[in-house]
């Protein structure tokens, strides 16, 4: 008897649900937000919670800007949309998983 995946109904050997879950988890969204006093922040969303603090440090160092991690998101001071993708790729994130809004 074949094991059937409860999620998609396919036999386990054809099921890609686990792979899809990982891809969804790995999606990173980058967008700009207006903060207090009309300052622009670059928000990076979707970083693995275990890595968000280290990633914040690496981004701040690479982009030479201030920033914090808050609620699992990275908040960087200033507009870094143009460079943040390359920095994330340099940290090992997959280019195809990074959405720049
Ligand atoms: Zn499945």
Distance 89 CA to ligand 1 centre (A): 29
Query: pTM to 2 decimals?
Result: 0.73
17-34 pLDDT, tens digit per residue, is: 876 665 555 789 999 999
| pLDDT value of residue 43 | 97
Q: How many CB atoms lie within 10 A of CB 76?
A: 22
Give the residue from 42, 15, 30, 17 showing the smallest Cα distance to 97. Answer: 30
What DSSP letter does each residue of 60-93 carry, written as one string? HHHHT--EEEETTEEEEES--HHHHHHHHHHTT-
Distance 22 CA to ligand 1 centre (A): 13
For the chain, give every domain's residue range. 27-100
Return averaged pLDDT per consecutive 10 residues of the chain, 101 residues in all: 86 81 72 92 91 95 96 94 94 90 89
Q: What does the block give as tokens for 35?
A: 């903060």
Distance 24 CA to ligand 1 centre (A): 14
Q: Superfamily for 27-100? A: SUI1-like domain (3.30.780.10)
| pLDDT value of residue 64 | 97
Angstrom distance (rounded) from CA 100 to CA 16: 26
Angstrom distance (rounded) from CA 59 to CA 40: 16
Distance 32 CA to ligand 1 centre (A): 36
> What is the sign of the dihedral through the CA atoms of 44, 45, 47 and 52?
positive
Distance 29 CA to ligand 1 centre (A): 26
Distance 3 CA to ligand 1 centre (A): 10
Distance 25 CA to ligand 1 centre (A): 16
């Amino acid at each position: 008897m074949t094991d059937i995946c409860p999620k998609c109904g396919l036999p386990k050997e054809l099921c890609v649900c686990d792979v899809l879950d990982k891809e969804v988890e790995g999606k990173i969204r980058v967008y700009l937000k207006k903060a207090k006093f009309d300052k622009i922040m670059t928000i990076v969303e979707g970083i693995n919670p275990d890595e968000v603090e280290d990633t914040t440090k690496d981004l701040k160092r690479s982009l030479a800007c201030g920033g914090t991690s808050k609620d699992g998101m990275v908040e960087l001071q200033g507009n870094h949309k143009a460079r943040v993708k390359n920095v994330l790729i340099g940290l090992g994130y997959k280019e195809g998983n990074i959405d720049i809004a």
